[in-house]
Copies of this chain bind each other. A is one copy, B any other.
Amino acid sequence: MTQKSAEAGPAKAAKAATTAKAEAPASVAGYRQPTGEETLSIVNLNDLEAEAAKVLPKGGFAFISSGADNQVTLRDNLAAFERIQLRPHYLVGKPAPETKVTLFGQELTLPVITAPMGAHGLAHASAELGTARGTAVAGTLMTVSTAANKTLEDVASASTGPKWFQLYLQEDQGKSRELIQRAEKAGYSAIVFTIDAFAPGSSDEANRLGFSFPPSLPFANTGTATFKPSLTWEDVDFIKETTDLPLILKGVLSPDVAEKAIKRGVNGIQVSNHGGRQLDGVQAAIDALPAVAGAVKGRVPVIMDGGVRRGTDVFKAIALGANAVALGRPVLYGLALGGAKGVESVYGQLQAELVRTMTIAGTANIAEISRKYVL
């Protein structure tokens, strides 16, 4: 972390718990992202946004933090969680809660994984390598985006933790096949196919700042970003035919798509509105979850992302049918503020909150969390 950010951090949420080394800001072709590594003392994940804004270049922060258009969906992703009321069960005599879950055969310390996000280099010099290391130390799973600033092989080498590869289909089917095969070879254990981002989203604030991806931060897996501009169910078939890895469909917002996906052989469903970054005006992710989970009926795992900031949010998502949630922006803020250690700190805070929530609510493990814990 730069000296400036090391000073800014302690003032609010992300206080350096270890001595931060004074490092010069990384300056590659003009984009100066943080480089520091330090454990963070976090009060809550919401506070991280303002802290990250202090250490990140304005354009990068705008790109990461904002949503599409009027940001109605971005705000509703968070507000919807606050509308859901919890129903604790007292006098049930539970032992200290256990947060472990198993997802596609892999054991995770908690039911929270790192969501696929592009260009971690905007947040920190270590880019996806730092995120992968921090996620692994936290004992959970990293989803690596096609639009990463580090190659999927380098990310795989950076840690031994479980990893999924998120696929943006390429215009050239051969290149898509090549990406999948590289992911297989590098040890990724699932493919996440994003269905809601064949056209770019648009952030007013990033546009106001004239933000564009800095040349110093190329898309390491594909060189340029030439995504297939139109997707079909045949694309799903193509991926299923290309690999035996489990396939997770990300961007599902309705029960009918979930049903169709399962019939088509999809192995997991990720309820998501892309963090409110694509189509402004779609439903909050947590509001879309119950109907999707109701359609899935436990046949495949359901993951949800969008608006998770608190242990109570994780609890609510599980109670409403998710097997796990994916965490997005807070991971990048942790990365910006403390590198891999910052990411680890983010997970540490969320797990502590989840344990506290489960304790008071009266649940001994993740499997016990069910609909009866929400009003």
Contact = CB atoms under 8 A, between A and B. Distances in A.
Interface string A304-328: 0000001110001000000000000
Contact of A85 (B95, B236, B281, B357): B281
Contacts of A43: 204, 207-208
A353 B312 contact: no
B84 A195 contact: no
Nearest to A94: B230
Interface in A46-72: 46-47, 69-70, 72
A69, A201, A231: most-surrounded residue (chain B CB, <10 A):
A69
Nearest to A82: B72
A229 interface: yes
B359 A199 contact: yes
Given A13-B208, A69-B310, A233-B91, A282 B85 contact: yes
B88 A375 contact: no
A281 B44 contact: no
| Chain A at the B interface: SS class | loop
Contacts of A136: none
A229 B356 CA distance: 12
Given A69-B44, A281-B84, A360-B279, A229 B13 contact: no
B279 A70 contact: no
A366 to B, nearest CB: 17
26 contacts: A12-B208, A13-B208, A44-B69, A44-B70, A47-B204, A69-B310, A70-B82, A70-B310, A72-B82, A85-B282, A87-B254, A88-B282, A90-B231, A92-B232, A93-B230, A93-B232, A93-B234, A94-B230, A96-B229, A198-B359, A198-B360, A199-B356, A199-B360, A278-B360, A280-B310, A281-B316
